[in-house]
Structure 1
Amino acid sequence: MKWLALIFIVVPVLEIGILLWSGNTFGLLPTIIIILGTGILGAYLAKKQGLKAIRDVQIQMKNFQAPGDAMVNAVFIFAGGLLLLSPGFITDLFGFLFLFSPTRQLFKPLVYKWIRSKMKNGQIIVM
């Protein structure tokens, strides 16, 4: 939990610093256009990828398969969409990384390792 508090303090401070730097370097209007553009593009991509993820989950369940990987993809896509809707360049970077499948694959082992450790500790129970 300490790292979560650290993220909620450090990331906004870094975002503000980068936004101020961008405003000074490129100007206020271009910075605002970039922020709005990534938000709009992120919403579009998250919707498109999210609908595909939902279809994948439905197909796997229809075929009596556990939709574990498809569910993890859906969570990444949802998180990526949320990150892209929040203003800032760091959150946009991680939002795009979570939305695209090749880069999402880099983060999946970390999530699976976290889930396994929670299952071993009895914090997650699979029925």
Structure 2
Amino acid sequence: MAVVFLLYVIAEFAAIWAVGSAVGVLGTIALLLVGAFVGSWLARREGGKAMRAFVSTAQSGRNPEKELTDGMLIALGGVLIMIPGFVSDVVGLLLMLPPSRAVARRLWLRRAEKRAVRYANRARGPVMVVDSEIVEPEPRPSEKPHPVIEGRIIEG
């Protein structure tokens, strides 16, 4: 993680240096300020849309997974836009725009699903699903059996 942060800082300095060389110091400062103002306006607008979609979906009784994830990604994009720098502004802007946010949402949900399965397997031990039935290995004599958690398997 420290390497990623170091690469981010180097990329930010390089971007600011390049823009500063092209438009000057005052132009660079102006672009950073304009980016922060436009980003905060966009975050407020998209956040409001996400909140209305969340409330509508929750009131209809459907699972608001998509809307909740969109709200989280919009908040992350807003934070990134408020951090001074061009790289963070571009990533934050990409999280604000619906087409690129949909890609980020799919990646995020896929990662969360894998982590949830990994955590469940670590907490309960290995579990195998065969034809929608949970098949657990026989417990060792020194262990007590894990409780079976009932639920649906959602594919999509």
Report the counterpart of residue 82 of structure 2 in structure 1. Answer: 85
Aligned residues between the structures: 121
**1:70-93: CA deviation from partner (whole Å, max 9, x where unpaired):** 011001111111111111111111
Report the counterpart of residue 96 of structure 1 in structure 2. Answer: 93
Distance 2:42 2:35 in 1: 10
Report the counterpart of residue 26 of structure 2 in structure 1. Answer: 29
Aligned-pair Cα RMSD in Å:
1.5
Choose between structure 1 and 2: higher helix proportion: 1
Within a 5 Å distance, the mapping from 1:63-74 to structure 2 comes to 63-74=60-71
Which of 36, 39, 43 is residue 39 of structure 1 equivalent to?
36
Following superposition, the deviation at residue 47 of structure 1 comes to: 0.6
- Per the normalisation by structure 1, the TM-score is 0.88
Following superposition, the deviation at residue 108 of structure 1 comes to: 2.1
Greater RCO, CA 8 A, separation 6+: 1
Distance 2:106 2:57 in 1: 21
- Per the normalisation by structure 2, the TM-score is 0.73
Report the counterpart of residue 113 of structure 1 in structure 2. Answer: 110
Report the counterpart of residue 72 of structure 2 in structure 1. Answer: 75
Runs of 4+ that moved beyond 4 A: none
- Give structure 2 stretches of 5+ with no counterpart: 121-150, 152-156
